Amino acid sequence: MADSGLWVGTLTALTALGAGYLTARATLRAALAQARTTTRAEALREQRDRRRAAYREMMSCAHAFSAVTWQIDDVDAARDRQSKDRLLTQMYERIGPAIGDMNRAMHEVRLDGPAEVAAAADRVRNTARRVQPLLKALIGDDGSERRDEYDAAYRNFREAYVTFIGLAREALEVKTEGG
């Protein structure tokens, strides 16, 4: 009888050890899964913050570029050719640095991605670069053809910019599982 008690005790102890081992493994797995989830969430948050900063900078540079081009209304309101040319020359002098800033911002977007947003930022920069020589061509020109080309180039820039904003917004959206 003492032997059966010893066996029951031994089996109970082994069962407890096995259960403890299994519990420890499950706890370890759960802790590792939680650590991975936390690390991934933090990495995604950091990526989103970097992207948001890069996108904001690109938008700020595009806005600064637009602020220069909006002065075309002042040119239209000027009374004489000399005043128009003076304003156009000032615009032309300011548009180069605005495009340079946009170029730098576009490279930041290119680094942080995703690829679709980077390509859209590149299109914004390239369409802005097309406006620059058309602005210079307006200096001393009284015809409507070059102005129409300038206006069309600016509209292309605006379309590219609006597309960039939409793609940037999509890239920053938080996607949850199942939705």
CA 61 to chain centre: 13
Task: Return averaged pLDDT per consecutive 10 residues of the chain, 179 residues in all.
Answer: 70 76 79 81 87 96 96 93 96 96 96 94 97 95 93 97 96 70
DSSP per-residue letters across 15-65: HHHHHHHHHHHHHHHHHHHHHHHHHHHHHHHHHHHHHHHHHHHHHHHHHHH
- Domains in the chain: ranges and CATH: 50-172 (1.20.120)
- pLDDT of the residue at 73: 94
Q: How many Å apart are CA 73 and CA 156, to the nearest integer?
A: 18
Q: How far apart are the first and last CA of the chain?
A: 64
pTM exceeds cut of 0.85: no
CB 95 within 8 A of CB 65: yes
Q: 130: phi > 0 → left, psi -120 to 50 → alpha, else beta; which?
A: alpha
- Report the pLDDT value the prediction gives residue 45, as an integer from 0 to 100: 87
Cβ 120 vs Cβ 164: under 8 Å: yes
Q: Any residues with CB less than 8 A from the CB of 122 and at least 6 apart, and which?
A: 106, 110
- Report how far residue 2's alpha carbon sits from residue 19's, in angstroms, rounded to the nearest whole number: 25
Give the model's pLDDT for residue 4. 76
Question: Quick one: pLDDT at residue 147?
Answer: 94
